[in-house]
Chain A
């Protein structure tokens, strides 16, 4: 039971992070190579709050997300202005990720613990918390994606110039997406810290960022439930295919290439997982109504 529970909790943590990244990569079309650093920032912020200031868990998580979102401005403002290429943003996120890791490893303040990291964090992330937070972030992200903000983001991704012509402030919208994604990664990082109860800065390396991106791409770029499903697949499959564990990272990379090459919109593409279900129900309801209507006519 503990084993399954552990995998489920890790999946939920990843789902929270992926919910943020899907808005940035899937909807806005910005490509980040270092989102693990926002997890790192959120993890440290919330862990310090609960450990040294006895702040309640939920508030600490939100604060961690807030810290990550604020610090995302450090790369957002220089690299998302004007007509700058998305490549600048990608390499800047990579650099920011490295920078956060190196700085965190070299802070000598006792709260941070430098390269030895923090230990003795309260184990607050239990199964109900993890599942609850994952569901909440899925619902929030679906709502965000269906709102004006999500639609503007899609417009920017597909036709940046055209959307600017109809009066979209591209810089503001991109910053909004970046802060949204950083916030959720921060919350996810906080959950991770309170699940493992210890952490070192090196946990949050480029591999983590790559895995997040792989889940988004595998699940579907313009869908929220798709990437959540993708995360679940990517977290559960390595457990089943233990004998392939050495090749895991290579397979992740191959999956990215093959999906981009064959079906760049991902498994679910532009659909949500519940949409066929909703359609089925609507159809069934419509049939019932229809038969009732015809029945009443006959009667």
Chain B
């Protein structure tokens, strides 16, 4: 029973990382209908910002997490400003946006290996490493922090999307971007907000992943699992993204703990194929309809 609880805690904390990443993908997809493949590097940049800021500026943990979110948000916005926005305005095929995203995904980590070095670093926070005993289960503080802050972030996002005028604008754009722009919604401003928010989510996820494992230039590869979670949940669905992110984290740790850790990385993809066979639109996805 203790082992099960221990696995559950790990599953929830890694699941919340996946959920944050999946929400970032879903936000961008819901408005612009393409998947931002350059999302992994954003997460990596956020984690590195915190990694360098903590010893250099003597920042405590929370401001440094905030800094990571800001840096990642800005990185994500720069990406949209320099690459995606001009391409969107030229009305290029979605395929080209995805290839450009993949290009970012190749360029940034490899450039980061040359600049930051390819080494694997521990996240420089002693506070997060302390474990708390809870009824026979050792829970690292970082896991609690990951769960709590993820829930706060997601709840904040929810409030923002459903209780503010700007959120209404974003939801209108995600329903139909062209009509929304005709109704006087500034799509470029919505794009800025969406990319800043998804970048901030990635930065947060990067910090937690760094605390749980380590900080290294190719850590953005984990964002693929977030993308898998977003697809399983239904592309563009925020609730689906959260649910499937948590589910994915849970299943992964359970199977790694009880069956075999060799095939741990396959679970995400196996789950993807199974879900797509039976539910082609994902768990909570909107039905795809033709737009001519």
Contacts and interface: CB of A to CB of B under 8 A. Distances in A.
A94 B101 CA distance: 14
A122 interface: no
A165 to B, nearest CB: 9
A95 B273 contact: yes
A29 interface: yes
B6 interface: no
Which of A91, A210, A213 has the most CB atoms of chain B within a 10 A radius of its CB? A91
A78 B96 CA distance: 23
Interface residues of A, number: 48
Interface stretch (B131-139, B183-191, B239-247, B260-268): B260-268
A260 B87 contact: yes
Given A87-B29, A87-B35, A102-B265, A260 B277 contact: no
Contacts of B105: 253
A275 interface: no
Given A29-B95, A102-B266, A91 B106 contact: no
A87 B87 contact: no
Interface stretch (B167-175, B207-215, B223-231): B223-231
A29 B263 CA distance: 32
Interface size class of B (residues with CB under 8 A): 35 or more
A250 B107 contact: yes
Interface stretch (B42-50, B108-116, B196-204): B108-116
B256 interface: no
Given A90-B35, A257-B103, A161 B231 contact: no
B276 interface: yes
A260 B224 CA distance: 22
A92 interface: yes
Nearest to A257: B103
Nearest to A84: B280
B272 interface: yes
A257 B83 contact: yes
Nearest to A247: B114
Contacts of B103: 253-257, 260
A254 B107 contact: yes
A45 interface: no
Interface string B83-108: 10011000011111111101111111
Interface in A35-92: 74-75, 78-79, 81-88, 90-92
Contacts of B106: 210, 249-250, 252-253, 256
A94 B110 CA distance: 19
B83 A86 contact: no
Nearest to A103: B266
A191 to B, nearest CB: 25
B111 A95 contact: no
B109 to A, nearest CB: 8
B259 interface: no
A162 to B, nearest CB: 8
B272 to A, nearest CB: 6
Interface string B233-263: 0010000000000000000000000000011
Given A91-B272, A102-B265, A85 B99 contact: no
Contacts of B92: 260, 264
Nearest to A217: B99
B160 interface: no
A92 B273 contact: yes
A33 B221 CA distance: 13
A157 B93 contact: yes
Interface string A8-49: 000000000000000001000111010000000000000000
Contacts of A94: 224, 269
B57 interface: no
Given A31-B95, A87-B29, A256-B103, A261 B269 contact: no
Nearest to B97: A260
- Residue among B86, B96, B281 facing the most chain A CB atoms (10 A cut-off): B96
Contacts of B269: 92, 94-96, 98-99
Interface string B265-292: 1101110110011001100000011111
B290 A83 contact: yes
Interface of B: 29, 34-35, 37, 83, 86-87, 92-100, 102-108, 110-111, 114, 224, 227-228, 231, 235, 262-263, 265-266, 268-270, 272-273, 276-277, 280-281, 288-292
Interface of A: 25, 29-31, 33, 74-75, 78-79, 81-88, 90-92, 94-96, 98-99, 102-103, 106, 157-158, 161-162, 210, 213, 217, 246-247, 249-250, 252-257, 260-261, 264
Given A157-B93, A260-B100, 6 more contacts: A84-B280, A247-B111, A250-B114, A256-B102, A260-B99, A261-B83
13 contacts: A29-B95, A82-B280, A86-B94, A86-B98, A87-B29, A87-B98, A95-B228, A253-B107, A256-B103, A257-B103, A260-B83, A260-B96, A261-B83
9 nearest A-B pairs in the assembled complex, by CB-CB distance: A256-B103, A253-B107, A95-B269, A253-B106, A250-B110, A260-B100, A83-B288, A257-B103, A249-B110
